[in-house]
Each structure stands twice: as structure tokens, then as C-alpha cells.
């Protein structure tokens, strides 16, 4: 059974060279149970509320398996929270979760909404590895943003149960690869159409950002 290895919240707001001037990407593991509410984990925060946070990006999850790949490439351990994630999982293909997939963790129900889009703040957090934004994009190991469907609490050691997987089958990696025209990716129009058909038919509720990009991809 997939499990939750760590729950991470902001440790400190750090100075940053970006337009906001500070960043809350410094997430670190906390002990005990943590409440999850519509806008995220209790006592967590986002510094850049324009591009991060909100109901559709309330929680960010990253897989230990993907972190280990990056650790080997970067030459140091990618500890829980280093990528700014709230949840570090094991045994779950987070970056290949189906859009709209739902996870039960503790008493909380979470829903996969969209992939993480890397930015320069993320690169600066890691002391700017060469071409980091492009490397992260090309690897297509994005992690998953989640919305909170049912309030609850969760903690390290909880099982992660996939309780719903939509039939449309489009994964975060499918969408991210197609949208960024990565090698071997599916046709963008096909992926966008599948997502919008599922959204319009009530099978999933796409985030505003993903829906708008899908519509634009089809020239709507």
C-alpha cells in the first residue's frame, strides 16, 4: 500500500530575488497530525498567492521515487520538503496520477488537479543548478497539485489509498508532456480534447488553469 512518508509546512519565509521578494518554498517535515482545509495544510502559507496556492493548488505532493532520481542527478539527498512539497509519498506514481484521481490519506480526501510548473524561484531554492527549469520540465517528474475535497487530518505513516481513478485516463505526465511538446508525448489536441470532454461531461472538474490551457490548445 502506498504511504505518506512526511508532511511538510513552511519553516520560514526566505528572501528571494523574484518580484515578490520572499518565498515560502522552505518546507520542512512536522510531527503529529496536521489538519487539511480547502486552502491547504494548517499553518502553511504561500508567499506568491498569484501563482501558487488557492483551492486548486492547496496541497503539493511529490514521490520519494522521483526525489531519489533527482538526488542521484544532483549529487545530494532530496529531503522531504526540499522541492517545496507538502506531502512526500512512497509507492505511488504521483507524477503519473490521472487528472481527477482521488486519494484518501488519514481522514482527508484529496483530488489531483494539475502538474507543477517549475519556476526560477524553485531553481534559486536549489542554488540554481544549470538549466534547472528546463531539466525539470524535460524529466516530466512534476509531482501533483491537489485540492481538498473533504477536510480532515493526516500524518506521516498514513496509507495513501487511491479511491477514485477517472476513466478518461489522462495523467499529469500525459498533459504536461503534450503541452510542453516533450519527446514522445501524445498529441496536444487529443489530450486537451479528452480532458475537456471529461470536464464537460461531469467526470472531472478541471482546475481553471488547466481548463483554460486546454481550451486555448484547441483554439477556443
The secondary structure of the chain in percent helix, strand, coil, rounded to multiples of 5, reads: 30, 25, 45
Grid coordinates of 180 = 510542453
pLDDT, average across residues 172-198: 98
pTM as predicted: 0.95
Q: What pLDDT was estimated at residue 22?
A: 73
Q: pLDDT, tens digit, for every residue of 70-128?
A: 999 999 999 999 999 999 999 999 999 999 999 999 999 999 999 999 999 999 999 99
Closest among 138, 97, 131, 92 to 115, alpha carbons compared: 97
Q: Are 114 and 36 in contact (CB under 8 A)?
A: no
Least confident of 27-31, 42-46, 166-170: 42-46
Amino acid at each position: 500500500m502506498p504511504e505518506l512518508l512526511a508532511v511538510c509546512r513552511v519553516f520560514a519565509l526566505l528572501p528571494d530575488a523574484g518580484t515578490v521578494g520572499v518565498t515560502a518554498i522552505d518546507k520542512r517535515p512536522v510531527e503529529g497530525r496536521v489538519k487539511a482545509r480547502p486552502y491547504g495544510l494548517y499553518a502553511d502559507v504561500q508567499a506568491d498567492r498569484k501563482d501558487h496556492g488557492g483551492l486548486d493548488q492547496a496541497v503539493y505532493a511529490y514521490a520519494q521515487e522521483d526525489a531519489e532520481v533527482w538526488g542521484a542527478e544532483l549529487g545530494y539527498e532530496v529531503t522531504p520538503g526540499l522541492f517545496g512539497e507538502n506531502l512526500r509519498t512512497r509507492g505511488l506514481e504521483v507524477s503519473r496520477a490521472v487528472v481527477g484521481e482521488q486519494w484518501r490519506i488519514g481522514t482527508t480526501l484529496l483530488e489531483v488537479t494539475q502538474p507543477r510548473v517549475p519556476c526560477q524561484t524553485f531553481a534559486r531554492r536549489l542554488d540554481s543548478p544549470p538549466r534547472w527549469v528546463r531539466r525539470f520540465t524535460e524529466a516530466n517528474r512534476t509531482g501533483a497539485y491537489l485540492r481538498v475535497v473533504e477536510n480532515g487530518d493526516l500524518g506521516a505513516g498514513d496509507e495513501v489509498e487511491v479511491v477514485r481513478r477517472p476513466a478518461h485516463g489522462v495523467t499529469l505526465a500525459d498533459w504536461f508532456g503534450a503541452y510542453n511538446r516533450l519527446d514522445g508525448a501524445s498529441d496536444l489536441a487529443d489530450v486537451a480534447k479528452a480532458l475537456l470532454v471529461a470536464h464537460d461531461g461531469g467526470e472531472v472538474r478541471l482546475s481553471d488553469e488547466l481548463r483554460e490551457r486546454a481550451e486555448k490548445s484547441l483554439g477556443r
